[in-house]
Amino acid sequence: MFVCINERPADNPKGCCKAKGGVEVRDELKLQLKKLGLSKSIRANNSGCLDQCEHGVTVVVYPEQVWYGGVTVDDVKEIVEKHLVGGEPVTRLLLPDQPHLGDQKK
């Protein structure tokens, strides 16, 4: 899984995932995965811009290609327990565009 930690200039109207807490979300994911002994099988990795700046913090889980937006540190436990362990995406955090469901916007 990839967590955007891209940084944009402070005056960019879209904002950026770094300013919205990308690094903290990644660190919390790593911590929760470690607690559950999942660090070897699931990697919480950094990524550059995932092109969803206005919806940040953006997280994408592969290979199932589930995209989350507006993720905070407080959401991490739910993503790990419900999705990564339980196999059920956290519906309330899903971005409108989900490639695995087809492009729903256009």
> Which residues form the interface with a second copy (CB under 8 A)?
2, 43, 45-51, 62-63, 65, 99-100
Minimum distance of a second copy from residue 51's CB (angstroms): 7
For a second copy, the closer of residues 19 and 42 by Cβ is 42
Minimum distance of a second copy from residue 8's CB (angstroms): 14
Q: What tokens does 89 get? A: 């995406």
- Smallest CA-to-CA distance from 10 within 71, 77, 18 is with 18
Whole-number Cα distances in Å, 36 to 11, 27, 31, 86, 90? 39, 14, 9, 13, 18
Minimum distance of a second copy from residue 23's CB (angstroms): 11
